[in-house]
Homo-oligomer: A and B are copies of this chain.
Amino acid sequence: MLFEIEIPTRKEFELIDITSMINEKVKEAKVKEGIAVIFTRHTTTALFINENESGLVADVKEFFEKLVPKGEGYHHDRIDNNAHSHLRSIILNPSIAIPIKDGRLLLGTWQSVIFAELDGPRRRKIFVKICKC
């Protein structure tokens, strides 16, 4: 089964915990054993899995702002002022595959699925594809 989830974002750089949204779709799909492929359709967003702790969320933002600073004379900025957002997105992931067991994502205790808005605010869409296997 395939689900589309809309994620309205509110900031330029925003990390949103989407674990519960995905678990809801896994339940709806009624797939007991399989995998979920989470996929973002945008070139200035990304997905990753880690702990949703406010200090760490701040660290992730600060780390990427330092690693790929905004407006460093990028070529792409002549067209669209967001080369840094694309580069940050390339370092992270557009898709993640997670095993499903007993109708639930097999995430560890501290793992959340995080949607990274890297050039917001915008209305974003991700896909959750659930395969029985």
Chain A positions near chain B (C-beta within 8 angstroms): 2, 33-35, 37, 39-43, 48-51, 53-56, 58-60, 63, 67-68, 74-79, 83, 86-87, 89-99, 101, 106-111, 125, 127, 129, 131-133
Contacts and interface: CB of A to CB of B under 8 A. Distances in A.
Contacts of A2: 33, 99, 101, 106
- Dominant SS among interface residues on chain A: mixed
A86 B111 CA distance: 11
Which A-B residue pairs are the 4 nearest by beta carbons? A41-B108, A55-B75, A131-B133, A99-B129
Contact of A51 (B37, B41, B43, B132): B43
B63 A87 contact: yes
Contacts of A49: 43, 94-95
A37 to B, nearest CB: 5
12 contacts: A37-B97, A39-B97, A39-B106, A41-B109, A43-B49, A43-B51, A50-B86, A51-B86, A55-B79, A58-B76, A91-B92, A93-B93
